[in-house]
C-alpha cells in the first residue's frame, strides 16, 4: 500500500482547471520530486495532501485511507503530514524553541518538558541547537528554514511536504537546507518535494515528475528524467534550469 496515492485528482479554481487527472503513488520512505514551470500546479498539488486546498474530483489516499473525506480530522491529518513553505512562516513573536514546541503541546498534548527535549534534539539535528532561545528575526534565512523543518518534524509526521523550500534563500544558504533534507530522505522519511534543485533530485529522489498546465507530463526515475526525457517541454525546461 502506498504512503500517498493521488487517484484521478482534479481541481478547479473557479473556471480554471488547475489539476487535471493527477495519478501518482509515493511509497513509504520514497522521495518524489515535483518540478515544472511557474503556475503549473505544483504548490496546489502538494497543498491538497494536507488539505490546505480541497480537491474537486478523485481522491488522495494515505496508507489506503481517503484523506479528502469531509470527516477527516484536519488537526490529526496535519500532525501526520508536515509542510515546509518557501517563506519560512515562523511565528515572529516567540523564540525558536517555542516555535518548535507550540504544536506538540497545543495539538498533541505533549508535556512542556517532553516537547522541549524533543525540540532541542531536532534543533541539534538541523544544526542550530545554539539558536534555541533567539527570535526568528535574529536568524539567517537558512537557519530559519531549518527551524521550520524542525518544527514540522516535532509532530513526528509520517510524510513531509516541501514547497520550494530553498527558493527564497541566498545561494550560500541553499546547501545547508538541502543537506538537512537529504539526511531526512536517507533516514527514510517519505517526502514530496517541489524543488528545482536538481542536485537534490539526482541524489535522493526515487521519482521525478514534471508538471505543465496542471498535468503530469513526464514521470520517471532521476536517471530517466535527466538523461532521456521524452517531451520537448521537459527538455526545454531542463535546458533552462540545469
Question: Which of Mg ion, ligand ADP, none interacts with 13 (beta carbon under 5 to 8 A by kind)?
Answer: ligand ADP
**Measured distance CA(208)–CA(224) in Å, rounded:** 9
Partner touching 41 among Mg ion, ligand ADP, none, CB below 5 to 8 Å by kind: ligand ADP
Cell of 205: 529522489
Among 43, 101, 166, 195, binds Mg ion (CB under 5 A): 43
The entry of ligand ADP, Mg ion, none near residue 38 (CB within 5 to 8 angstroms by kind) is ligand ADP
Binding of residue 38 to ligand ADP (CB under 6 A): yes
- CB of 231: closest distance to ligand ADP in angstroms? 17
Is 43 a binding residue for ligand ADP by CB under 6 A? The answer is yes
44 binds ligand ADP (CB under 6 A): yes
Q: Exactly one of 13, 75, 93, 111 binds ligand ADP (CB under 6 A); which one?
A: 13
- The C-alpha cell at 166 is 530553498
Which residues does 208 contact at the CB level (< 8 Å), separation at least 6?
32, 33, 34, 35, 201, 219, 220, 221, 222, 225
Shortest gap between Cβ of 39 and Mg ion (angstroms)?
A: 8
Cα 44 from Cα 42, distance rounded (Å): 5
Q: Is 150 helix (H, G, I), strand (E, B) or coil?
A: helix
Element (H, E) at 193: strand 190-194
Residue whose entry in the numeric block shows the C-alpha cell 498535468? 215
The binding site for ligand ADP (CB under 6 A) comprises 13, 16, 18, 36, 38-44
The binding site for Mg ion (CB under 5 A) comprises 43
Amino acid at each position: 500500500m502506498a504512503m500517498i496515492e493521488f487517484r484521478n485528482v482534479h481541481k478547479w479554481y473557479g473556471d480554471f482547471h488547475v489539476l487535471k487527472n493527477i495519478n501518482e503513488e509515493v511509497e513509504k520512505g520514497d522521495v518524489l520530486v515535483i518540478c515544472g514551470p511557474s503556475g503549473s500546479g505544483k504548490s496546489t498539488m502538494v497543498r491538497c495532501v494536507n488539505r490546505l486546498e480541497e480537491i474537486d474530483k478523485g481522491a488522495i489516499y494515505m496508507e489506503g485511507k481517503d484523506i479528502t473525506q469531509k470527516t477527516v480530522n484536519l488537526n490529526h491529518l496535519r500532525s501526520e503530514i508536515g509542510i515546509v513553505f518557501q517563506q519560512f512562516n515562523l511565528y515572529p513573536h516567540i523564540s525558536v524553541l517555542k516555535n518548535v514546541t507550540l504544536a506538540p503541546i497545543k495539538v498533541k498534548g505533549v508535556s512542556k518538558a517532553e516537547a522541549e527535549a524533543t525540540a532541542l534534539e531536532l534543533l541539534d539535528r538541523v544544526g542550530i541547537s545554539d539558536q534555541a532561545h533567539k527570535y526568528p528575526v535574529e536568524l539567517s534565512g537558512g537557519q530559519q528554514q531549518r527551524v521550520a523543518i524542525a518544527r514540522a518534524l516535532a509532530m513526528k509526521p509520517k510524510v513531509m511536504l516541501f514547497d520550494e523550500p530553498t527558493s527564497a534563500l541566498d545561494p550560500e544558504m541553499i546547501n545547508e537546507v538541502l543537506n538537512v533534507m537529504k539526511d531526512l530522505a536517507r533516514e527514510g522519511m517519505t517526502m514530496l518535494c517541489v524543488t528545482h534543485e536538481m542536485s537534490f533530485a539526482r541524489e535522493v529522489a526515487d521519482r521525478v515528475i514534471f508538471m505543465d498546465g496542471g498535468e503530469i507530463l513526464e514521470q520517471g526515475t532521476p536517471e530517466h528524467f535527466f538523461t532521456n526525457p521524452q517531451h520537448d517541454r521537459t527538455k526545454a525546461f531542463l535546458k533552462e534550469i540545469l
